[in-house]
Structure 1
Amino acid sequence: MNRTIALVLVSLLASGCATTGGVTSFTNAGDTANLHEKERRLWHEASGVDSTIERSGQIYEDRRATAYLQGVMDRLYPEFKGKIQVHLYDSTQLNAFALPNGSIYFNIGLLARMENEAQLAAVLAHEAAHFIEKHSFRQRVSAKNLSAFAVSGIPFASLAAVSSISGFSRDLEREADMKGYERLTKAGYDPHEAHKVFEHLASEVKALGIEEPYFFSSHPQLVERIETFKELSARRKKGGRVGAEDYNRVMQAIRLDALRKDVGQDRYKSVILVMEDPGLRRYYPASGYYYLGEAYSRRDEKGDTARALQAWQKAEKLSPRFAPTYKSLGMHYMKTGNKGQARRYFGKYLSLASKDARDRAYVQQYMSSL
């Protein structure tokens, strides 16, 4: 999340997060028309956050996936249809967050890690519960803490740590768990899938040593979610909608794009973890092996050149029309002095890549130099 958005979020949460007496939860969409003055101000600030995010270009444009997530949300909370709006957030970091006006932002990195619709529904139900229960309004920082926001030069991590993106108080998070669980089961989803998404995330956060100050990147927070959902589902029989086929069909392009973005941001550890784990890799397109090769190439540790070559060769075999693989193979053979193989792979790249591919001119130059 960029600094501008983080600053706006901090301002928003500082002004509106309060434990206040007499706060009543929303019961349906009509309730949102009856806000008192402080809530209206909070909603106005939330709309400002929406505008800032949109202007920053951080909305991930995928109409099909956005409509799919919105459909799941509307199934969970049909009486709030039109008031809870789900947006895809263009970040590979593991997070999702709710604003007090009903805007839900879901990072594509988190979407890429889930296995099915039931797991998605568990997170959506949890985030929407924050909105319906007015958690932003009920949790307010003290006046002493508020004074800190006026101090210039506060590190970004410190700002993110006090915003909604890092989660609410323990009691409010537990309330969101319970309220979300109720909606999950009422909508007919298998509740036994809920804890699995948090288990996968906790394993990744621990394995990669992730220290990002976000709720779904916090190992202690994830462990608590696991325990809570296991306890809630222990008394229920397995069964209900899982939706693995639908989910994975919609998320194929997002998963591949998340790999691409991780490589571009040198988050190669994440790419290697995912693509070397058979349980995770099975949800990714075969062209994901190309990004595994790129990750090894960028890591550049002992043995990584051979690992990168092996990954690119798998991508060539399993996804033969994925053009970027051939450029990387061409570069590999050019560097190792095999001009014949380099020309062959560069030629294959040029035959498959679009006419306006930005690397086309460079590859043509490489070809002419061989």
Structure 2
Amino acid sequence: MMMDRKSRIPMPAIVAAACLLLSGCDHSSQELDLPGVTKEERVAGQQQHAQILATMGGEYRGDADNYVRSIGAQIASAAGLRGQCNFTLVNSDVVNAFAVPGCFIYVTRGLLAVVASEDELASVLGHEVGHIVARHSARQRERSLWSLLGIFAVSLTGSDRLTRIAGRAVSLFGLRYSREEEYEADVLGIQYVSKAGYDPFAAADMLHALGRQERFIKATNGDNDAHSLPEWASSHPLPVNRIKRAIQTAHATGVAEHVRPEREDVYLNNVDGLLFGDDPQQGFVIGRRFAHPIMRIAFDAPAGFTLTNSPQAIGITGTGDIRGEFGGGKLEAEDLDAYLRQLIRELINSDIKQPLSVTNGMINGLSARTTRLNMTGSNGDAVLLIAVYNGGGGQAFHFVIAAPAEASSATIDQLFRSFRRLSDGEAAALRPRVMKVVRAAANDSNDSLSRQMADRNGRALFVALNGDAQVKAGGRYKIVRFSATSAH
């Protein structure tokens, strides 16, 4: 999370979450007979591009980004879309890849770390191109949850601005493909991968790799340093027989198994030195704790809560339909009350019309304000719970939490009271991590390499990144280590 932006773009999404509380295949590309990317789709994709980059941490520039682009260009050409697609590696540790209309395709560095070869990466890109060719992304707009959130936001606040923001979110994170759409994109992607000269069986290997990542997250129960939710798996369902179908589709290409190399070494050369986990510029999420070594701040979420890092805010998810964010902004003239009023104005797109009861006090030595907004709809009630803090140096920080009216305020109060400044020693102890590729020595084993991992769940993370086969002398493996570069 970075706090140098003047706007608080994510905040209306919290109101949208509160509104939700109130509301209660197998085709070939030839058979689809679809044209290339239309001018209208291209313009729409270009308009969303900057917003997506801002939300996803920006472009991760360098050799790895160029590597993704070069593979993507080959896949697009194989799909009959030469020169019509834009491929971007984004600076997010969330394991995800997604496509928006206009053939703008995004891969996170988190996903790049999880796959095991160039051919597996090509199969991810092929799959996303398949969604574009089959027009899945465009159709998802009409049935996405975020579209519904936009409607509820208008009914509750009269804000068409929330509708526009919710509509943009459809393209970013709201897409949830059906099983039939996933199968169709698998078939198309495998065809494109094979046509481009890659191993069509790598698609099944890629699904295995993503399955390992999902199992890692579940096994560590979020209590790990590689905390990212398996977003690709949640938006691209992984039913048990999907891998079997991918293998059958690969056989249908006519390419024999184990004939084409998967180019593991080329891939490993390009991910050696890749930033792993949180970017220190955005702070670190460690289990239920968020800590920012540069801003010298931290807070702890209650048990049962999940934190998700992004450049603009920290997403907060709790039990019982609790949703929220932590963010910050500039504090003018040390006026914390004015900051609170402006925050509320941005949230509801108008001045507050109900009596506002604000509690003034000190939390861990910081001046703070807390308040509660009641929101009533035809199908129930919800509340917005807000806390703002004077962080010093002209900087303010805030929590905005949307919850059902009956939710326990004690749990949210625990979250609000956990916010504090970091000591110099605590900030210095927070270091970024990078992926390093090592060659196993004759006496190395899975356990010995796992012990080199800069993660409290070293063995589980080693399996997630490398598979569970026994280490072979001379083989190359991905290890996560602390960077020699300080986080601040």
Task: Give unmatched runs, 5+ long, in structure 2.
Answer: 3-7, 17-30, 157-161, 223-227, 289-453, 467-475
Q: Distance in 1 between matches of 2:131 and 2:258?
A: 27
Q: Shift of residue 277 of structure 1?
A: 5.0
The counterpart of 1:179, out of the listed 180, 188, 211, is 188
Q: Distance in 1 between matches of 2:132 and 2:277?
A: 31
Q: Distance in 2 between matches of 1:219 and 1:104?
A: 15
Matched letter for residue 44 of structure 2: E
Q: Paired residue for 2:263?
A: 243
Q: Distance in 2 between matches of 1:202 and 1:142?
A: 27
Q: Paired residue for 1:188?
A: 197
Q: Paired residue for 1:74?
A: 73
**Higher alpha-carbon deviation: 242-251 or 48-57:** 48-57
Q: Distance in 1 between matches of 2:198 and 2:136?
A: 25
Q: Distance in 1 between matches of 2:71 and 2:112?
A: 13
Helix, strand or coil at the partner of 1:221: coil
**Higher alpha-carbon deviation: 125-134 or 190-199:** 190-199
**8 A Cα contact 1:76 1:183, kept in partner:** yes
Q: Paired residue for 1:124?
A: 125
Q: Distance in 2 between matches of 1:160 and 1:283?
A: 39
Matched letter for residue 71 of structure 1: S
Q: Distance in 2 between matches of 1:242 and 1:117?
A: 6
Q: Shift of residue 100 of structure 1?
A: 0.4
Aligned pair 1:258/2:276, yes or no?
yes
The counterpart of 1:223, out of the listed 239, 248, 257, is 239
Q: Paired residue for 1:48?
A: 47
Q: Distance in 1 between matches of 2:270 and 2:112?
A: 10
Q: Shift of residue 101 of structure 1?
A: 0.7
Q: How big is the alpha-carbon RMSD for the aligned residues of Structure 1 and Structure 2?
A: 4.2
Q: Shift of residue 159 of structure 1?
A: 9.1
Matched letter for residue 284 of structure 1: K
**8 A Cα contact 2:177 2:237, kept in partner:** no
Q: Distance in 2 between matches of 1:177 and 1:6?
A: 36
Alignment of 1:65-144 (within 5 A): 65-78=64-77, 79-139=80-140, 141=142
Q: Distance in 2 between matches of 1:104 and 1:138?
A: 17
Alignment of 1:150-165 (within 5 A): 150-152=151-153, 165=173
Q: Distance in 1 between matches of 2:261 and 2:187?
A: 19
Helix, strand or coil at the partner of 1:59: coil
Deviation track 1:218-254 (CA, whole Å, cap 9, x = no partner) reads: 3981235423313323564322131111111111122
**8 A Cα contact 1:126 1:179, kept in partner:** yes
Aligned pair 1:63/2:62, yes or no?
yes
**8 A Cα contact 1:70 1:86, kept in partner:** yes
Aligned pair 1:204/2:221, yes or no?
no
Q: Distance in 2 between matches of 1:186 and 1:121?
A: 11
**8 A Cα contact 1:167 1:214, kept in partner:** no
Alignment of 1:34-45 (within 5 A): 40=40, 42-45=41-44
**8 A Cα contact 1:185 1:191, kept in partner:** yes
The answer to which structure has the higher strand fraction is: 2
**8 A Cα contact 1:5 1:49, kept in partner:** no
Q: Shift of residue 106 of structure 1?
A: 0.4
**8 A Cα contact 1:160 1:213, kept in partner:** no
Q: Distance in 2 between matches of 1:72 and 1:64?
A: 12
Matched letter for residue 229 of structure 1: A
Matched letter for residue 203 of structure 2: A
Q: Shift of residue 97 of structure 1?
A: 0.4
Q: Distance in 2 between matches of 1:266 and 1:144?
A: 27
Give the TM-score taking structure 2 as reference length: 0.46
Give the TM-score taking structure 1 as reference length: 0.59
Change in CA separation of 1:82 and 1:248 when aligned onto 2, cut-off 3 Å: same
Change in CA separation of 1:6 and 1:227 when aligned onto 2, cut-off 3 Å: farther
Q: Distance in 1 between matches of 2:107 and 2:135?
A: 19
Task: Give unmatched runs, 5+ long, in structure 1.
Answer: 12-22, 291-321, 325-356, 360-370
Q: Shift of residue 94 of structure 1?
A: 1.0
Q: Distance in 2 between matches of 1:196 and 1:147?
A: 36
**8 A Cα contact 2:48 2:168, kept in partner:** no
Q: Shift of residue 52 of structure 1?
A: 1.4
Helix, strand or coil at the partner of 2:110: helix
Point out which structure has higher relative CO (alpha carbons under 8 A, 6+ apart): 2
Deviation track 1:68-91 (CA, whole Å, cap 9, x = no partner) reads: 111112222224232111111111
Q: Shift of residue 276 of structure 1?
A: 5.1
Paired residues, number: 267
Aligned pair 1:283/2:477, yes or no?
yes
Matched letter for residue 102 of structure 2: N
**8 A Cα contact 1:5 1:52, kept in partner:** no
Q: Distance in 2 between matches of 1:64 and 1:195?
A: 26
Q: Paired residue for 2:176?
A: 167
**Higher alpha-carbon deviation: 144-153 or 174-183:** 144-153
Q: Distance in 2 between matches of 1:25 and 1:100?
A: 17
Q: Distance in 1 between matches of 2:71 and 2:287?
A: 32
Matched letter for residue 232 of structure 2: F
Q: Shift of residue 109 of structure 1?
A: 0.4
Q: Shift of residue 193 of structure 1?
A: 2.2
**8 A Cα contact 1:118 1:190, kept in partner:** yes
Q: Distance in 2 between matches of 1:261 and 1:111?
A: 15
Q: Distance in 2 between matches of 1:220 and 1:56?
A: 20
Q: Shift of residue 161 of structure 1?
A: 9.5
**8 A Cα contact 1:122 1:181, kept in partner:** yes
